[in-house]
């Protein structure tokens, strides 16, 4: 079955430290994409970072990097130098072929709390 698993319902990190949010995925398709989205308390879904299944290098976007380990089917998000504004819900997602076309499956999310 195609699914995304985020095993950390909540995480705490001290301001200015790095934090890793875990994500594992399950698919037998060779072509898929992985994404991370941030949802602050205001509710909007903000795209953070993308990794394609054929990409050789880990994706990076500013303070965000995606630790892509294909053999282990993991796509962890690393946030460096955490800021108070990073406190939010973080969703890992996978885009895969399903009945009717490609669709995006979301994990249950991890709530990150950044402490001052």
Partner 1 sequence: DTAVSQTPKYLVTQMGNDKSIKCEQNLGHDTMYWYKQDSKKFLKIMFSYNNKELIINETVPNRFSPKSPDKAHLNLHINSLELGDSAVYFCASSLTSGWADTQYFGPGTRLTVL
Nearer to partner 1, 80 or 104 (CB): 104
3-class SS letters over the chain: CCEEECCCCEEEEECCCCEEECCEEECCCCCCEEEEEEECCCCCCEEEEEEECCCCCCCEECCEEEEEECCCCEEEEEECCCCHHHCEEEEEEEEEEECCEEEEEECCCEEEEEEC
- Residue 83 contacts partner 1 per CB under 8 A: no
Does the protein bind partner 1 through residue 64 (CB under 8 A)?
Answer: no
Q: Which of 35, 65, 77, 86 is the binder for partner 1 (CB under 8 A)?
A: 35
* Site for partner 1, rule CB under 8 A: 31-33, 35, 37, 39, 43-47, 50, 52, 89, 91, 95-98, 100-106, 108-109
């Amino acid at each position: 079955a195609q699914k995304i698993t985020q095993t950390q319902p909540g995480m705490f990190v001290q301001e200015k430290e790095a934090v890793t949010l875990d994500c594992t995925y399950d698919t037998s398709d060779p072509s898929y994409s992985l994404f991370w989205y941030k949802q602050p308390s205001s509710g909007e879904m903000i795209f953070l970072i993308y990794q394609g299944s054929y990409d050789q290098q880990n994706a990076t976007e500013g303070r965000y990097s995606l630790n892509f380990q294909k053999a282990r089917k993991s796509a962890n998000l690393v946030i460096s130098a955490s800021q108070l504004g990073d406190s939010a819900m973080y969703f890992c997602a996978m885009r895969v072929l399903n009945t009717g076309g490609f669709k995006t499956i979301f994990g249950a999310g991890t709530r990150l709390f950044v402490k001052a």
